Structure 1
Amino acid sequence: MASAATWAVGVILARQLGAHIPPLALALLKNGMVLMVLLPLALLLHGHAWPTMAAAQWAWVLLSGVLGIAVADTLYFRALNELGAGRMGVIGNLYSPSVLLLGYVFLGERLGGWQWLGFALVALGVLLVARPPSQWRTQPRHGVRGVLIGMLSIALMAIAIVMVKQPLEQHSLIWITVLRLLGAVAGLAVLSRLPALRSLVTFDASQVPWPRLWVAALLGQGVSMLLWLGGYKYTSASIAAILNESASVFLVMLGAWWLREPVGRRAWAGVVLTFTGIACMLSGRVTL
């Protein structure tokens, strides 16, 4: 729950920073800032001893960072700029059903009838915001494209967390976080060098509110990521994903209050449906 709250604040700050920094550059800056803080902390806490993992696990954790942070965060910020925090918050509720399905297939977590009903309700809630009424539209007017980009980013986040579930259970939380960040920063650096994407990392540094960026990075990215991965370390992937859905409540409310984003009845209906679905998911038990 604490991860959801800090993440929601970070998203709101990122939404405001999007006016000054393009999505790819924002993702690179935020993750680089967090890595600058967490890597020395990990070395200090663990006596400068790197984790002892098989080469395959190292590769798996680093790839999780590339997919789940480098690619997914860049797509997420792009969708956030197009849709706004409230709508993107509801679309983000696709995350827990995605983790439930992947956990079922790859981790052996079994779902009950109530949880499958919850899956359907969450999916219906997301569909309610896929074609919003005219007063809901934001600039630029690429609602459908924004929804598709947002859904792809959520799917990649779900895949990445399932990839790293077993290493998380076996190794230090802070080291797994640092290794994912290393993969993320490396992946973002490669993306930023592609000719087609170079324009997405160009910005005027003098126009950037750096104090706000540091808060967004350390709170919404660093602290939230540690708490988020901690949830997956100490409970099942399915339960952790469901509890993370409380972030959408924070996003819708903060988007309306902080950013003055209009939120219509269809949005609230989507929120009610998705959280009814979450309640159904929690009413059943996950078995292994």
Structure 2
Amino acid sequence: MSIGIGEALALGSAAAWAVGVILARQLGATLPPLALNLMKNGLILALLAPVVLFLHAGQWPQMPMRDVALVLASGVLGIAVADTLYFRALNELGAGRMGVIGNLYSPLVLLMGFLWLDERLGARQWLGFGLVGLGVLLVTRPPREWRTHPAHTLRGVLIGMSAIALMAIAIVMVKRILEEQPLLWVTVLRLAGAVAGLLLIAALPGLRRHRAFDPGKVPWHRLILAAVIGQGLSMVLWLGGYKYTSASVAAILNESASVFLVILAAVWLREPLGRRGAVGVLLTFSGIACMLLGRATP
């Protein structure tokens, strides 16, 4: 069994995201979601842009304006709009239901990859997809006492599905650009689109309470560390996964983030894994092995 650079980056992204979630666990108590999202993406953009300019000697890549526009739009749709809708759905549905809706991501990328990118999965990849999906479903299904009873379930489901669909569309639309252009430049442009979109959303009337916070109560060291690992490193690895392997394979391997989160919570925070969680972890890693045993047809 061998692992290519694309598969390694996709798995690394999932692990980095999980570490970021653990680090950011207490930030929600001091920062509203819109402010947290804007600050994380703005911080990474401010850190990464000078690095990219230095590495490329200040030279702009040979990227057509159409590609630049697509990458910027991907940031607006996939981060600014999608994340805003995601947090809105999370508030209406609760973490349990939203976790289940989040499992729509990889099937949507598979469908779009089939229709728009002419990607095909082999038998082992389909088996891996099923095992990963089942494993993630097991570890993200919350205990009964965590479940919520929202008043607007249908509206929340539609908002949540829209968020996941936008995330899938936003990555598939830049897949070919990622293959042809420097990874870090695409990352910076996508972040620029995201920050611009988030600033526009934050400026909308009626959203003041969603961006107001007390700076004195924010654990800034934790915010910076969570942003660097869970947002910056994770995003570079995530886009790298889509650059070096098929969108379908990358999306399926990205689903392992929930499993990495459960493992880290058990090891780091001493949270009980439980029999269901252990089975979910085993199924997910079995699915990953199946994905690596056979490569998707480009």
Shift of 1:218: 1.0
Letter in 1 for 2:120: R
Match of 2:204 among 191, 194, 200: 194
Match of 2:238 among 228, 251, 255: 228
Does residue 170 in structure 1 map to residue 177 in structure 2?
A: no
Contact 1:89 1:251 in 2 (8 A): no
Q: For residues 214-265 of structure 1, what are the alpha-carbon distances to aligned partners after superposition, in whole Å with 9 as ceiling and x for unaligned?
A: 1111111011111111122222222222222221212123345656777766
Query: 1:116 and 1:57 mapped to 2: Cα distance?
Result: 32
Match of 2:18 among 8, 28, 34: 8
Q: Which residue of 2 aligns with 1:44?
A: 54
Shift of 1:197: 2.6
Unaligned runs of 5+ in 1: none
Query: 2:209 and 2:279 mapped to 1: Cα distance?
Result: 38
Query: 1:229 and 1:131 mapped to 2: Cα distance?
Result: 27
Q: Which residue of 2 aligns with 1:208?
A: 218
- Give the 3 Å change call, closer, same or farther, for CA 129–240 of structure 1 in structure 2: closer
- Give the 3 Å change call, closer, same or farther, for CA 244–119 of structure 1 in structure 2: closer
Does residue 83 in structure 1 map to residue 68 in structure 2?
A: no
Does residue 103 in structure 1 map to residue 117 in structure 2?
A: no
Contact 2:178 2:242 in 1 (8 A): yes
Q: Which residue of 2 aligns with 1:19?
A: 29
Contact 2:71 2:189 in 1 (8 A): yes
Letter in 2 for 1:166: R
Greater Cα offset, 72-81 or 101-110: 72-81
Query: 1:125 and 1:246 mapped to 2: Cα distance?
Result: 9
Contact 1:89 1:248 in 2 (8 A): no
Q: Which residue of 2 aligns with 1:65?
A: 75
Contact 1:68 1:161 in 2 (8 A): yes
Letter in 2 for 1:20: T
Query: 2:286 and 2:100 mapped to 1: Cα distance?
Result: 13
Query: 2:39 and 2:120 mapped to 1: Cα distance?
Result: 39
Greater Cα offset, 259-268 or 204-213: 259-268
Query: 2:46 and 2:297 mapped to 1: Cα distance?
Result: 39
Shift of 1:76: 4.0
Letter in 2 for 1:21: L
Letter in 2 for 1:49: Q
Query: 1:260 and 1:19 mapped to 2: Cα distance?
Result: 21
Contact 1:23 1:78 in 2 (8 A): no
Query: 2:111 and 2:146 mapped to 1: Cα distance?
Result: 31
Query: 2:292 and 2:63 mapped to 1: Cα distance?
Result: 34
Query: 1:33 and 1:13 mapped to 2: Cα distance?
Result: 16
Q: For residues 61-115 of structure 1, what are the alpha-carbon distances to aligned partners after superposition, in whole Å with 9 as ceiling and x for unaligned?
A: 001111111122334455667317xx86665443333222211111111123444
Does residue 155 in structure 1 map to residue 165 in structure 2?
A: yes
Query: 2:238 and 2:140 mapped to 1: Cα distance?
Result: 27
- Give the 3 Å change call, closer, same or farther, for CA 92–256 of structure 1 in structure 2: farther
- TM-score norm. by structure 2 comes to 0.80
Letter in 2 for 1:25: A
- Give the 3 Å change call, closer, same or farther, for CA 80–22 of structure 1 in structure 2: same
- Give the 3 Å change call, closer, same or farther, for CA 133–48 of structure 1 in structure 2: closer
Query: 1:262 and 1:76 mapped to 2: Cα distance?
Result: 27
Q: Secondary structure at the match of 2:30?
A: coil
Q: Which residue of 1 aligns with 2:4?
A: none
Contact 1:30 1:221 in 2 (8 A): yes
Greater Cα offset, 178-187 or 248-257: 248-257
Shift of 1:269: 5.8
